């Protein structure tokens, strides 16, 4: 029986086969399967989109089901509780909050608001491209700043490039795809200084995965009335990527300006799901623990193979393959795993997302075959 047939059969026997003769110590209990909704093992395993392999949780699914009857209603009527919960969490008032259809919509509408018709955006290379790709369609220009030697934002160079043409600085921290994190001091100093010259956008999609104690969110500068916009998402730790909901935090006059350009509002089911997700501390903690567990398993496999990698502040790992990423993608797909796309200029590096423990074990086995 081949690997595809084993995967289709599923269950505990399939999991044991995938990892050889060893049982998976972290296999889920029946309670965890019911509450946290792990995705089934597929062929190929999709570890290329930085999704949460768990969720929506049982509590969130119940809230979604109850929201079905509201599908005939416009969503704004039902968003008050979510706005208040977000505002309380971030320590601001509700007029600081803009709920958007996934943080990607927040990035796009901000780029459109501030940099259309010839405005300049300063951004790292490589980084998450949604804002810049969209803004270019509306006439913006992009001033790309290569990452420094540690594959972290070169904020000194970014600040040096600020001119009167600069309308926005995009900062993805932790960065996607490298997973690197600016030091606390550099982050605060840069955002505080740069925001006095132009608008600073701090993409904090992966903030929940940072394990450094007391690492600051740039919401702290929003509270000081600085020209800073922060984005957050329900796609990652909350496991709601398919529902497309996120939010921005900015001082009220900035938030109001962005709302005017918002392309669309998210739906009632997403609003109810996000509200329930914010109350589900058990799922939140479970998601973080499984990401940590998966990363440690991948680190171990990479150490065994002598591969260079960056210890991650996200739910993915960036590691050096030593071969062109398109070749590596094909080789890993033959092993039943989809890995991340190319991120020039790091064409011999790969971004691999966390999955269930079974998916991680499948990746580790495939990696060993491909790299030895």
Distance CA 233, CA 211 (A): 18
Say if residues 157 and 135 touch (Cβ distance below 8 Å). no
82-141 tens-digit pLDDT: 999 999 999 999 999 999 999 999 999 999 999 988 999 999 999 999 999 999 999 999
Residue 156: CB atoms within 10 A of its CB come to 12
- Tens-place pLDDT, residues 129-152: 999 999 999 999 999 999 999 999
pLDDT-flagged residues of the chain (< 70): 1-26
Residue 76's pLDDT is 87
The pLDDT of residue 25 is 47
Domains delineated in the chain: 3-57+282-371 (3.90.1150.10), 66-279 (3.40.640.10)
Q: Whole-structure pTM over 0.85, yes or no? A: yes
> What's the token pair of residue 258?
């962005």
**Cβ-count burial 14-51 (b if 16+ within 10 Å, e if not):** bbbebbeeeebebebeeeeeebbbbbebeebbebbebb
For helices 268-279 and 281-305, give the axis angle rounded to 10 degrees: 80
Tokens 């600016």, residue? 182
The pLDDT value recorded for residue 224 is 98
Q: What is the mean pLDDT of the chain?
A: 93
pLDDT of residue 347: 98
Q: State yes or no: cis peptide before 174, omega within 30 of 0.
A: yes
Q: What does the DSSP 8-state code read for residue 52?
A: -
Q: What does the pLDDT read at residue 261?
A: 87
The rounded distance, in Å, linking the Cα atoms of 212 and 208 is 11
Quick one: pLDDT at residue 12? 40
Q: What is the pLDDT of residue 3?
A: 52
23: left (phi over 0), alpha (psi -120 to 50) or beta: beta
Copy the structure tokens of residue 257: 């300006």
């Amino acid at each position: 029986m081949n690997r595809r047939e084993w995967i289709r059969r599923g269950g505990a026997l399939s999991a044991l086969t995938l990892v050889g003769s060893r049982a998976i110590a972290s296999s889920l209990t029946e309670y965890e399967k019911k509450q946290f909704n792990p995705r089934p093992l597929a062929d190929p395993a999709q570890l290329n989109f930085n999704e949460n392999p768990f969720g929506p949780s049982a509590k969130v699914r119940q809230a979604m089901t109850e929201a079905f009857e509201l599908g005939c209603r416009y969503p704004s009527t039902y968003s008050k509780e979510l706005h208040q919960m977000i505002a309380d969490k971030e320590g601001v008032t509700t007029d600081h909050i803009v709920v958007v259809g996934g943080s990607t919509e927040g990035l796009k509408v901000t780029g459109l608001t501030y940099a259309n018709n010839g405005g300049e955006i300063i951004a790292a290379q490589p980084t998450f491209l949604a804002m810049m790709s969209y803004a270019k369609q509306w006439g913006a220009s992009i001033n790309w700043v290569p990452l420094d030697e540690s594959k972290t934002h070169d904020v000194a160079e970014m600040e040096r490039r600020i001119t009167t043409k600069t309308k926005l600085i995009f900062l993805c921290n932790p960065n996607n795809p490298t997973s690197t994190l600016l030091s606390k001091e550099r982050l605060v100093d840069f955002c505080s200084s740069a925001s006095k010259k132009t608008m600073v956008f701090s993409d904090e999609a992966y903030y929940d995965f940072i394990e450094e104690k007391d690492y600051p969110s740039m919401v702290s500068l929003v509270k000081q009335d600085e020209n800073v916009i922060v984005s957050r998402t329900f796609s990652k730790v909350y496991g709601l990527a398919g529902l497309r909901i996120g939010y921005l935090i900015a001082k009220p006059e900035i938030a109001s300006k962005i709302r005017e350009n918002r392309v669309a509002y998210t739906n009632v089911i997403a609003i109810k799901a996000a509200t329930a997700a914010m109350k589900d501390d058990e799922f939140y903690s479970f998601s973080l623990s499984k990401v940590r567990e998966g990363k440690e398993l991948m680190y171990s496999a990479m150490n065994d193979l002598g591969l260079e990698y960056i210890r991650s502040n996200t739910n993915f790992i960036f590691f050096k393959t030593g071969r062109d990423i398109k070749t590596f993608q094909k080789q890993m797909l033959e092993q039943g795993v989809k890995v991340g796309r190319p991120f020039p200029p790091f064409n011999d590096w790969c971004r691999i997302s966390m999955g269930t423990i079974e998916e991680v074990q499948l990746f580790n086995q495939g990696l060993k075959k491909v790299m030895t």
